[in-house]
Structure 1
Amino acid sequence: MPVHHQWRDRVENGTLLGPRWVIGGMLIDGSPSFWNGRGLPFHEVKTEDEARAAVRRSKEDGADFVKVYSQLSLPLYRAVVDEARRQRIPFAGHCPNMVALTRASNAGQRSFEHLLGTLFATSDREAELLRAMREVKVDPVDPLRQMGPLELRAADSYHPAKASEVFALFPGFGLHDELTMLVRAGLTPMRALQAATLEPARYLGLDDRIGTVKRENWRISWCWTPIRSTTSTAPGGSTPLSPVVGSSRPKNARRCSPTSERPRRTRRP
């Protein structure tokens, strides 16, 4: 929405105190869309030309990324992907119901909100279930009703080998609990912390400014003691991580200096 871009501009020029904004364009969905009649502005596309035009409109509107949505067919999704590459704008959002998650990931989609598509991608009946998804008709009263049974079938047919082909890191809402679970699942504490710091910075293309602890980033990246476990980041932990926004180093703070598994330097995408 225009007001979001106005707020972002004011934050960046220092006339409004606020967080850094990363703004998506109006979502691009196939037809019929879940959002028909719900009052939300969006692009409902029926042809590849319309899909490409929606991508160009997102860029013209000043969006940081194109948002793809659930009802895009595979041909429409391919058109969005191709046009986004031509326009040099990232694309992210939902994994379309009729597109395999691994296919979307390989195409360059930057994120998969709500982990949509994960249940199917980790099922040994993925192809069968995706075919069934293509037959689902959108119910305007309850658009998700027909998807539930298919997702349950996918969960019941979960296969560890399929899952190992899909998962890397999926940090989400319960940050402190998820960091602990990532370590229990086999990551080292440093790799888990990178999942909540360095990797999101890389995703946003901001890893030259945030996500690591270095002199020019002191304004946002300080902690009280070196991190030895992910429980250190939780309230009440023995060595609490405490990012500080300010112009100088806190008097009683020490710079974090992990001695192993230092973040790899990468070029900004």
Structure 2
Amino acid sequence: MTATVLVFVLAVFVLAGFAKGVIGLGLPTISMGLLAVVLPPAEAAALLILPSLVTNVWQMMDGPHLRAVLRRLWPLNLGVCVGTWGGAAFLSGLGGPYGALALGVALMAYAVSGLAALKLTVPRRAEPWLGPLTGAVTGAITAATGVFVIPAVPYMQAIGLQKDALVQALGLSFTVSTLALAVTLAGERAFTWELAWPSLVAVVIALLGMRLGQAVRARLSPQTFRLCFFAGLLALGAYLAARGLT
């Protein structure tokens, strides 16, 4: 990895870490999109694994809601693993134009519905069967695109998770998804020793960006956080769709 590429990679992780600190997501989406400019998609996904895992674990542990979300979301996360491994056949589509375009459009549609205050609601009695189904679909999309968002994030909001509990739940599910994707990438032999030290440096940079973003989030009211959350999703979706079109 040349010095120019390394500087670009580190700048990407600062930006992605900051976005993750503010709204609880965005690190894989931003990183995959920008890293694919200078790296092959499977290599970009492999480089992303360690920073994603460390930042996700930090996000998962940062708050008092972990036990509650573990109890409530284990069916979703089990489905994520099954879907990711089942979708491993689509790994060659990582960063592919059609996957990015479809995911971008879905993100924008969900963000617009959120900004328009259209509220999705999942009754508690539906969670035992809808959670695993949502997780399996999300896992398959993760295997195909390297991005964990749809439909798990709308599901978490639809069951009533708010601000800090939502962010912590996202950290939990992102951790599970990252580990499942790592198993898939290991099977594809995408990991190389050449990626080891850039990954370690990226962890530090991403954590610094994330810490700055968390400081910003702590100052946000629930209403402002909601606006930032959906605006961030809209921007991520527009970026993915534009990348798919070009």
Alignment TM class, shorter chain as reference: under 0.3
> Whose RCO is larger (CA < 8 A, sep 6+)?
2
Which one has the largest radius of gyration?
1
Structure having the higher helix fraction is 2
The two structures have a TM-score, normalised by structure 2, of 0.23
